[in-house]
Structure 1
Amino acid sequence: MPLSTQDIKRLRRIGHHLKPVLIFGDKGLSDNFVEELNLRLEDHELIKVKVNAETRDERAAIVQALTEKGSAELIQRIGNIALLYRPAQQPNAKLSNILRYQNA
């Protein structure tokens, strides 16, 4: 189900102060990176990923691949930072950025 404009605004507001939890680098989109991406999305629901790529087109392609492999939705991309969201099956109140910052 696509997110509404208000949901996206709320997620962008929450994600503004987050630090990147994953850094995509020279090793490419390995199985280990995808597994780590899925674990972080399940734990935090809303995460930032830093993508180190040479060109804008490469960054866009990598972010697209990350959203597909992680079954996540791209909330925002500014430069080399992507904000990804995927609702957790069982959200943990101590780890979920959505639950921790729901009043933001």
Structure 2
Amino acid sequence: MLTSKQKKYLRGLSHKLQPIFQVGKAGVNENMTTQISEALEKRELIKVSILQNCFEDNSEVAREIVDDTEANLVQLIGNTIILYKESANNKQIELP
């Protein structure tokens, strides 16, 4: 679980990132969560965009991704989810 200070730090780092995954009308599936897990292992901090044609609630999509990838939800703002998961092999981010 991240502290508010750590979340604030990660939000600052994520500001310059572009979303690398998009959730569309098909919603969240197993293949997508596997790819998100792999991306989190490489990058530690990613953004996921929820498209307008996604019929699920944004908070439900975020919860589903967090549960399946065991990542930490940094922020859900509008249609963008910011996720963080400490990498076992590629540690790049040092949390305060």
Partner of 1:42: 41
Partner of 1:75: 74
Cα pair 1:46 1:85 within 8 Å, conserved: yes
Q: Distance in 1 between matches of 2:87 and 2:8?
A: 19
In structure 2, runs of 5+ residues without a counterpart are none
Instruction: Encode CA deviations 1:55-80: one digit per residue, 9 max, x unaligned.
Output: 89711101110111110111111100
| Farther-moved stretch of structure 1 (35-44 vs 23-32) | 23-32
Equivalenced residues, count: 95
- The one-letter code matched in structure 2 to 1:64 is R
Cα pair 1:46 1:86 within 8 Å, conserved: yes
- Percent of residue pairs bearing the same amino acid type: 27
TM-score of the superposed pair, with normalisation by structure 1: 0.80
Q: Distance in 2 between matches of 1:6 and 1:36?
A: 28
Q: Distance in 2 between matches of 1:6 and 1:87?
A: 16
2:30 is aligned with 1:26: no
Alignment RMSD:
2.2
SS in 2 for 1:87: coil
TM-score of the superposed pair, with normalisation by structure 2: 0.86
- The one-letter code matched in structure 2 to 1:12 is R
In structure 1, runs of 5+ residues without a counterpart are none
Runs of at least 4 residues off by over 6 Å: none
